[in-house]
Chains A and B, each alone.
Chain A
C-alpha cells in the first residue's frame, strides 16, 4: 500500500470518525457549559446568600481539582456508588433504574464532566461581567417597573454576555482541546483515534501532526464564529474608534 493510499483510505477516514465524535462531545458540552455558567454566574453575583454559598462550593470543587480526576470519578467512580445505593434501595423494592442511572456511558460521563467543569469556569466570567455593570442600570430598570427576572433577562444578561464574551470564548477554545481527555474513558475521539493509528501504523509524527491540524481547524472555526458573534453584538460608540471599522 502506497503512502498516499494509506492516508486516503485508512488514516484520514479514521481521523474523520474521531473528529465527528469530538464534535459530538464538544458542542453539547460548550452549550450546556455556557448555560450553566450564566445561571451559576448570576446566582453567585446576585443570588441569596445560601445560593451563593452553594454555587461557590460548586465552583471551588470543579476548578480546584484536575479534570482527569473528575472524569475518572464520573466514569469509574460512580458505578461503585450505584452498587452501594442498589444494596440499600434494592431490598426496599425500588426499581433498578433508581440506582442504575448512576452508571454512565463513556459518552455521558465525558459530556457531564466537561459541562460541569466548563460551567464552573464560565460562571466566573459571567459573575465578573455582572459585577461590573453600573448600579444605575438596575435602578433605571426597577424604576420603570421591571421585575427582578425581567431586569435579569432584558438588562443584565445582554450586557453581561457581551462583556463576558471574550472570556467565555476562550474557555470554549480550551474545551475543544481538553475534550481529548475523553480518550481515558475509552472514547475514540480525535486524539484517541490518532493514538491508536500512530501505534498501529508506526507513524506517530505524521498521525499526530495531522491530528494537530484537525484541532487547529476546529479552533479556527470556533474563533471565526466568536468573531462573528462579537461583531454582531458590538455596541456602537464603545471602545476605540478604530474598532468600528
Chain B
C-alpha cells in the first residue's frame, strides 16, 4: 500500500473473500506424494510469486488449481465456487475463468496468432467469428503484436509466442492467471519483453499466481512470495522480509544460490 509499484495487499481489505482459495490440496503421482496439504489464497488484484527448487511441485500445484490435474485431496475455490462440486460436465466452465501460461507456450501450431487468440472465443464462448477476430486483434495489439497477427507459431520468436499466449489467455477475460515459468524458455534478451507485458497485466489489476525464478522482477512487483519445497509451502511473506540481506529464511538462502548459479 505504501509502495505503489507493489500490487495487492497481504491481508484482505475490509474482509473481502479471496478470488482464489486453495484448500488442503494434495496429490500423489507415480506413488510419490507431490503436493502435501497445500493451502493458499489470492485476493483480487494480487500478484503472488511461487518459487522453490526444481521438482518441488510448483507446476503440479498450478495444474491442480486449474483442475487440469484433479487433486487427490482438498479443493479449489474460485470466488467461492468449489471446483470439485462443478463435476466433470461443468469443469470446463470453471477452467474458462482461469488463464494459464505455460513455460513452453503451447500455442496451437496449426493456427495463426490471430486464430490462436480467437478460437476459444469462437468455440468455447460462442462469440461470432467477426467479433472474435476483432477481439483477438485488440488483445494482440495490447501485447504489441498486431502486425504479426497472420503469422503461424513456427514463424514467431519465443518472446512473441509467449506474448501471443498471454493474449490468448486474456481474451477469455479470466478472473485469475496462472503463469508457470513464463520466461524460462526464453533467451535473456527476450525475457524483458514478456516481463513487461506481465507487469502491464499487474498494473491493470489482474490477479496472478506466477512461478518464476526472476527474483529481481518478483521483488518489485509482488506483495508476497510463496516458497515451496517437497510439495509443501515452507514459507510465505512479503519479499522485503523473506529476501532481506541476512534474513535467515529458506527463501533467501535459495535465492542467493539461484543468483550464484544463473548470475541473474
Given contacts A140-B106, A140-B107, contact A236 B154 (CB under 8 A): yes
Q: Which residues of A contact B124 (CB under 8 A)?
A: 144-146, 150
Mask: chain B, 28-69; 1 = CB below 8 Å from A; 0 = not: 000000000000000000000000000000000001001010
Question: Binding site of A, secondary structure by majority: helix, strand, loop or mixed?
Answer: helix
Tell me, rounded to whole Å, the shortest Cβ–Cβ distance linking A150 to chain B: 5
Partner of B95, one of A144, A162, A237: A144
Contact B172 A144 (CB under 8 A): yes
Contact B106 A154 (CB under 8 A): no
Given contacts A143-B95, A145-B96, contact A237 B110 (CB under 8 A): no
Contact A144 B96 (CB under 8 A): yes
Given contacts A136-B102, A139-B68, A140-B102, contact A145 B92 (CB under 8 A): yes
Contact B100 A143 (CB under 8 A): yes
Q: Which residues of B contact A158 (CB under 8 A)?
A: 110
Partner of B110, one of A140, A146, A147, A162: A162
Question: Binding site of B, secondary structure by majority: helix, strand, loop or mixed?
Answer: mixed
Q: Which residues of A contact B155 (CB under 8 A)?
A: 236-237
Contact A150 B99 (CB under 8 A): no
A210 at the A/B interface (Cβ < 8 Å)?
no
A155 at the A/B interface (Cβ < 8 Å)?
yes
Count contacts between A and B, CB distance < 8 Å.
74
How large, as a class, is the contact surface on chain B?
Answer: 20 to 34
Q: Which residues of B contact A139 (CB under 8 A)?
A: 63, 68, 100, 102, 106
- Once the chains are docked, how many angstroms separate the CA of A163 from the CA of B120? 23
Contact B110 A235 (CB under 8 A): yes
Contact B100 A146 (CB under 8 A): no
Q: Which of A104-156 contact B (CB under 8 A)?
A: 134, 136-137, 139-147, 150, 154-155
Given contacts A143-B68, A143-B100, A154-B123, contact A235 B95 (CB under 8 A): no
Q: How many chain A residues touch the partner (CB < 8 A)?
A: 22
Contact B92 A143 (CB under 8 A): no
B230 at the A/B interface (Cβ < 8 Å)?
no
Contact A146 B68 (CB under 8 A): no
- Once the chains are docked, how many angstroms separate the CA of A158 from the CA of B95? 23
A67 at the A/B interface (Cβ < 8 Å)?
no
Contact A154 B119 (CB under 8 A): yes
Tell me, rounded to whole Å, the shortest Cβ–Cβ distance linking B227 to chain A: 25
- Once the chains are docked, how many angstroms separate the CA of A237 from the CA of B109? 10
Q: Which residues of B contact A154 (CB under 8 A)?
A: 119, 123
Interfacial residues, chain B to chain A (CB-CB below 8 A): 63, 66, 68, 92-93, 95-96, 98-100, 102, 104-110, 119-120, 123-124, 151-155, 165, 168-169, 172
**22 A-B pairs with C-beta separation under 8 A:** A134-B106, A136-B104, A137-B108, A139-B100, A139-B106, A140-B100, A140-B106, A140-B165, A141-B108, A143-B95, A143-B100, A144-B95, A145-B93, A145-B95, A145-B96, A146-B120, A154-B119, A159-B110, A162-B110, A235-B109, A237-B152, A238-B152
